[in-house]
Amino acid sequence: MNKYKYEYEDDGYLKGKNKSKLKVFILFSLSLIFVTSILAGCAPMEPASFHRLKVQVRKLNKKTAELSQNQQYVEKKLGQMQLNTANNGVAISSLNAKIRDIYGKYEVEHHKLNVLNKKFREYRLIVNKQLIKLLKLVKTGAAVSSSSSVKKQSVRSSLVKKESSMEYGFNEAMSQFKKKKYNSALTSLRSFLNKYPQSKYSADAMFYKAYANFKLKKYPVSILEFHKFSQLYPKSPDVPMSIYLQGMGFLKVSDPSDASILFRQAIAKYPGTKAAELSQKAINGLSK
């Protein structure tokens, strides 16, 4: 009885062992099939696909090279623009320094002239006092009657005479300028501005005084006076021409860089004007 029992148990054990081996074999087979399929997917590309890929890579490399060249070109241009901006800043600073120097010299001369004018006024006041005393001696005993109407007429007459005298003085100075008598015109314009500094003709008188100095080849003085005119009367229609003539003044004293700055300023700020046209011609002449 026990003998058959043991034989039955050994047979069951062998059958269980064979089943385990079968399972391992099946798993190994499945793994082998799976690895084979993966390796098949990683097979080498066909020649045509590989060629197309190489062409695309070459195109990308070419595009990358072109973009690199464009970047270098843009960086070079940007560097040039920054250098030009810096040079223009230096040139403008130099021009401003020269103008301040000329203006300083002008202020010294102007102060001397004011001192002389003050002495002249004091002398004229003394003379007038002496004349008044003489008139009083001559008219001693004469009765002088005056009424309000007479006074008003006298005031009106005085204003009319002043206006007439002012207009005559300006027209006389301009007549001398048109006849190219620049020294006489300059003297008359100076006298006019001293006598009527705030008249309706003051702006024109100041512009033509500077222009007369330019015509007399007093270029540093004319540069300063044109600059001062532009500052005092920025809305005057003569401002564009004053900027152009400042540039010509610098050109006459052999300073083409400062002259070019003023010419370009006239073109940029006042396009379509005669001054802009003349400035463009001057720049074209500098580039030759």
Report the pLDDT value the prediction gives residue 154, as an integer from 0 to 100: 44
DSSP code of 255? -
Token code pair at residue 233: 């009367």
Return d(Cα 90, Cα 33) in angstroms, integer: 81
Please report, to the nearest 10 degrees, the dihedral formed by the alpha carbons of residues 126, 130, 131, 135 taken in order. 150
Report the pLDDT value the prediction gives residue 228, as an integer from 0 to 100: 95
Return d(Cα 191, Cα 196) in angstroms, integer: 8
Question: How many other CB atoms are there within 10 angstroms of residue 117's CB atom?
Answer: 11
Report the pLDDT value the prediction gives residue 25, as an integer from 0 to 100: 64
Return d(Cα 240, Cα 266) in angstroms, integer: 6
Nearest to 194 by CA among 219, 173, 179: 173
Please list the pLDDT of the chain residue by residue as tens digits (288 residues): 554 444 444 555 545 555 666 666 666 666 666 555 555 554 455 678 778 888 888 888 888 888 878 888 888 888 888 888 888 888 888 888 888 878 787 777 777 767 666 665 665 557 556 657 666 676 665 444 444 443 444 434 444 455 678 899 999 999 999 999 999 999 999 999 999 988 899 999 999 999 999 999 999 999 999 999 999 999 999 999 999 999 999 999 988 999 999 999 999 999 999 999 999 999 999 877
Report the pLDDT value the prediction gives residue 102, as an integer from 0 to 100: 83
Return d(Cα 135, Cα 70) in angstroms, integer: 93
Return d(Cα 73, Cα 43) in angstroms, integer: 45
Report the pLDDT value the prediction gives residue 140, as an integer from 0 to 100: 65
Nearest to 212 by CA among 236, 188, 233, 247: 188
Based on the number of CB atoms within 10 Å of its own CB, is 36 exposed (0-12), middle (13-18) or buried (19 or more)? exposed
Report the pLDDT value the prediction gives residue 224, as an integer from 0 to 100: 96
For the full predicted model, state whether its pTM sits above 0.85. no
Return d(Cα 283, Cα 288) in angstroms, integer: 9
Return d(Cα 109, Cα 161) in angstroms, integer: 33
Return d(Cα 69, Cα 77) in angstroms, integer: 12
